[in-house]
Structure formats: C-alpha cells, structure tokens
Chain A
Amino acid sequence: MAPGQGGKPPALANPSLGGQFNVKLAEQLLNGLQLGFVYALIALGYTMVYGIIRLINFAHGDVFMIGAFLFFFGFNVWGLPWWLALPLSMVLSAAIGMAIERLAYRPLRERGAPRIAALITAIGVSLFIEYFTSLKFVFSANFRVVPRPFEDTRFVIGGLGISTVQIFVIATVLVLLAILQFIVYRTKIGKAMRAVSVDQDAARLMGVNVDQVISFTFGLGSALAAAAGCLFALAYSQISPFMGIMPGLKAFTAAVLGGIGSIPGAVLGALIMGEAEVLTAGYLTSNYRDAIAMSLLIVVLLFRPAGLLGKAIREKV
C-alpha cells in the first residue's frame, strides 16, 4: 500500500531551488492531509466506540476493508453509478458493524464479562472477517486493482499541483465531519451518545436506551470507516482482504494520540499521523516510516499520558 498521490517526490529536495522545495513540501503536506483525513474517518469509529464502552474494536479496520470492497463491487460488478455505490457501501457497512456488536459484543456486556474478554473477542471477529473474505468464493486473498470511476486530472493552482481525487477525498471527509458534528452535538441521539460515554449507568437511569445508543454508535463509526474504505480505494486503487490491518492500527494509534474518546482528538491525531507518515517517507526514508510514527506516539504519551486532547481522569480515593 503506497500512500502519496501522483508519484513520489525526490527523497531529498534540492534546497537551492528554494521555491521548488516549498512547492514540493506543500504537495507532500497535501498528500499527508489526504491520508490523514482518511485515517480520521477510521479513527473516529475507534474513538466513539471506546468512548462509549471502553472497547478497542479490533474489527473496525476490517469494516474499512468491507466498505472498500462494497464500493468496488457496487460500481464495478453491480453496475451502480459510483456516487451511489459510496453511500450504499456506508449503509451496508453500518448494518454489518451493528450486527457485529449485537452478535459478538453485546452478549459479553450482558454477562458483565471483563473488558479483556471483549477485546479478545474483537480480535477473533477481526480474524474471522479477514479469513472469511479471503476465501475463494468470497473476495479471495489477492489484491485487486480498483479502476478509477472518474478521471484523475491534475491541475496547478498558484504553482501547487493538486488533483481531482485529492479534492474529492478531502471535500468528502470535511462534509462527513460536518455531518458527524451535527449528529453528535445537535441531535437527541447525539446527546444520548455523549451521556452514555460519560456515565452509562446514570444515562440508563435517566431513561436513555443504552443498548440502542451503543448500536447507533457502532453503526455511525462503521459508516465512516466504510467511507474511508471507499475513498482509500479511490485514491490508492488497491484493495485486499487484509488491507484493513495497518490502516486500522494507524488510525487507532491516531485516536490514542489525540486522546482516545475525544472526537476532535481523533481528527487531530489522524492528521498528525498522516503527515508524519508522508513526510517521513518523502524526506527521510520510507523504511522507517512506521517506526517514526510510533516513536512520535510514545513521545506524546510521555508528556500527555492521556493523549493530546485527552482528559487525565483523577481517581477518587
């Protein structure tokens, strides 16, 4: 999986060409923004689910993968226009995410099982999805190339190269973020989500249907992850049943970096991770890309143990 759009820049830009250096930097920053925003959509699902039931949903990265495949099938096999395939993928993935919660996580919750049990179950669900979809009669284990449904034209604005795909990806993410913002802060269900993530028992006592809220959160997060999958397929053109592992891991790292449970934190963390990854690959070496990103995380956690925007909860004695 190669992030970065439209070819790689030279590993070390020639600084004597100052203006060119700045343009290359700006283009790399743009690449990082694109990747970061895609990570952000995935990270939001992790952070919302964690915020509401303290679960690291390892299967979330695989919903991202399913979203990508549904998008691919939608406009490539089922003959839908691509701009319909995207929302369809989101809706179907939301349903899948909610089904996973219902079948695998809720039984544990109802039994009061320890958190680690839910975590291991999540790992199991993730493995199941990956192995099942890599069966020959499902998606098969190979990489597939996703043909681009619309032309990726490059044009130059003020010396800066930018492509239609980049614009589309960034614009879509911004729209989805705005919708999410609206849902979480201006609807009843959003208020219920926030209440449950602060104090589940108190919310229940106040008449909130906690199970429903949890379901909805999973659905919402899964829809966003699916959107990320579609955009990823659009931007980087390759999909495979195991494509969710690394982006899922990085998105989860991003969510923790920003403060797990915090929605703005997830976006901030994801942008940082995206930029770090692209800039390291562009200017240092792509070999140590992941190591640098993880080192960044550890350094941040040393100074902000609850993440950049996280709240350090003082335990009452």
Chain B
Amino acid sequence: MPLLECKDVSRFFGGLKAVSGFNLTLEVGELVGLIGPNGAGKTTVFNVITQIYPPSLGTVTFQGKDLMGLQPYQVCQRGIARTFQNIRLYKQMTALDNVLTAMHPRAGYGLLGAFFHTPGYVRREAELKAEALSLLDRMGLSHRATELAGSLPYGEQRRLEIARALAIRPALLLLDEPAAGMNPNEVDNLVQMVRGIKMDFGLTILLIEHQMGLVMNLCERLVVLDFGETLAEGNPAEIQANPKVLEAYLGKGVSA
C-alpha cells in the first residue's frame, strides 16, 4: 500500500486554478522532490495534503485512509509533519519548548498530572525532555536549548523547525524549501542531514525546493509542476533532459 496517494487533486481559489489534476503516489521510504517555478502550486499541494484547506476535487489518502474532512491537527497526529516556507516557530518559546510542543499529543499525562505535578508527570516530563534534547542534539542545536527560538540565527531556525517536525514521529515529512537562504556549504550539510534523518527515523520525505543542486543530489524522483499542473515526472536525469521542463523552468545553480 502506498503511504500517500493524491488522486486527481485540484484546488481552486475563486477563479484561480492553483492546482489542477495533480497525481502523486508515494511509497514508504521514498524521497521525492516537488519542483517548479514560483507560483506553480507546490505549497498549495502541501496545504491540501495537510488539510489546511481541502481539495476542491480529488482525494488525498494517507496509509489507506482518506484525509478529507480532518482538521490539520488530526492530519498531523496521523503521522504527517511539515516545515514552512517562511519559518513558523514559536518565537517567544525556547528551542527546547518548541520541540516539546510537537510531543503534546502523546504527552501521556492528563490535567491531574499537569496541575499537581504528580510523580507520573515528573517522570514523563523527564522522558519528553530527554527525547527533545536528543533531537536538538541531532540537529546540532543543544547549545541553544534554553534560548528563545526567535533569537536564533536563520540557519539554526530552519534546523529547529525540522527538529520540531521530527518530534511528531511522523511517517511522512513534508519539507517546504528547507534550503532557502542557505549558502552552498550549508546546502551540502543539509543534504547529508536529510539523508541521515531519513535513514535513522525511517521517514518518507516529500520536499519542495528551488535549489537544483540539492534536489538533483538528494531526490530519487522528481515531480515538476507548472501553473498548477504536472509537467513531468521521473528521476533527476530524465527531468534534466526533458525539454518541456527546461523550457518552463531553468533551474539555478547547476548546469546539466
């Protein structure tokens, strides 16, 4: 059974066709890239999958179950986590707390524990904190644990967002332009990091990205969107040679 299936998904905003007839099948363990010029509808696809708004047409199925009608937090609790194009961390909370918030659905203690700090609460909080700290450590952010997320440098904020997403223990991770604003050195590190977390956490990853270097290096399969429609699909080599793609979208940073 494929992990994620988008069948004929369309999303309209009034008269605007943001996404039209989008099809995607993700098998467990894949690392697929979603690329296309600005405004092609890539983030809209993410938003539809996470049910920020439902598809106007078509279905989104995750682990065999239709996601229609669910609230975003319910979609998340089923195992889909994401990062955001323009970083949406909780700025006035510490890095550690940002990661801890993602664990709330499985916090494991009720209001009684919360109000009275029972032994059960204390034990569980310690476990949660340990897990959160190890995630921060994994992202190279241990030294920032008690700093406010809003005060971190840009690159670290991006990594923190990923740490927070991992804290959900997702089956599917959606990364929205994780390399935005990064220099080539940072991009290389990111490639290593993404490969690493995919392996260690058993993730399936769908990522949106503009940096062709990252995409070609990292993704096994690419889907190209243009004006809301799928233009091409295939492995990096095929996509790079595809005349339609080259015509619609000259990638930056890499010559074939």
Consider the complex of A and B and state whether they touch directly, i.e. have CB atoms less than 8 Å apart: yes
Quote the shortest CB–CB distance from A287 to chain B (angstroms). Answer: 40
Give CA–CA (A317, B47) in the complex, Å.
8
- Chain A positions within 8 Å of B84 at CB level: 317
| Interface residue B52 (Cβ < 8 Å from any Cβ of A) | yes
- Chain B positions within 8 Å of A317 at CB level: 43, 47, 52, 84
The A/B interface has a contact count, at CB < 8 Å, of: 4
Residue count of chain B within 8 Å CB distance of chain A: 4
B44's nearest neighbour on chain A, judged by CB, is A317
Quote the shortest CB–CB distance from A205 to chain B (angstroms). Answer: 20
Quote the shortest CB–CB distance from A114 to chain B (angstroms). Answer: 11
Interface residues of B in 26-56 (CB under 8 A from A): 43, 47, 52
B88's nearest neighbour on chain A, judged by CB, is A317
Give CA–CA (A196, B84) in the complex, Å.
29
- Chain A positions within 8 Å of B52 at CB level: 317
Quote the shortest CB–CB distance from A147 to chain B (angstroms). Answer: 57
Quote the shortest CB–CB distance from A316 to chain B (angstroms). Answer: 9
Q: Mark A35-65, 1 if CB is under 8 A from B, else 0.
A: 0000000000000000000000000000000
Interface residues of A in 268-317 (CB under 8 A from B): 317
Interface residues of B in 48-100 (CB under 8 A from A): 52, 84
Q: Mark B222-241, 1 if CB is under 8 A from A, else 0.
A: 00000000000000000000
B82's nearest neighbour on chain A, judged by CB, is A317
Give CA–CA (A317, B52) in the complex, Å.
8
Quote the shortest CB–CB distance from A162 to chain B (angstroms). Answer: 46
Interface residues of B in 192-214 (CB under 8 A from A): none
- Chain A positions within 8 Å of B47 at CB level: 317
Give CA–CA (A317, B45) in the complex, Å.
12
B47's nearest neighbour on chain A, judged by CB, is A317
Give CA–CA (A73, B43) in the complex, Å.
63
Give CA–CA (A317, B46) in the complex, Å.
10
B53's nearest neighbour on chain A, judged by CB, is A314
Quote the shortest CB–CB distance from A31 to chain B (angstroms). Answer: 43
B13's nearest neighbour on chain A, judged by CB, is A314
Give CA–CA (A317, B87) in the complex, Å.
10
Quote the shortest CB–CB distance from A117 to chain B (angstroms). Answer: 16
Give CA–CA (A317, B84) in the complex, Å.
8
The list of the 4 closest CB pairs from A to B, nearest first, reads: A317-B52, A317-B47, A317-B84, A317-B43
Residues of B at the A interface (CB closer than 8 Å) are 43, 47, 52, 84
Cβ contacts A to B, 4 pairs, < 8 Å: A317-B43, A317-B47, A317-B52, A317-B84
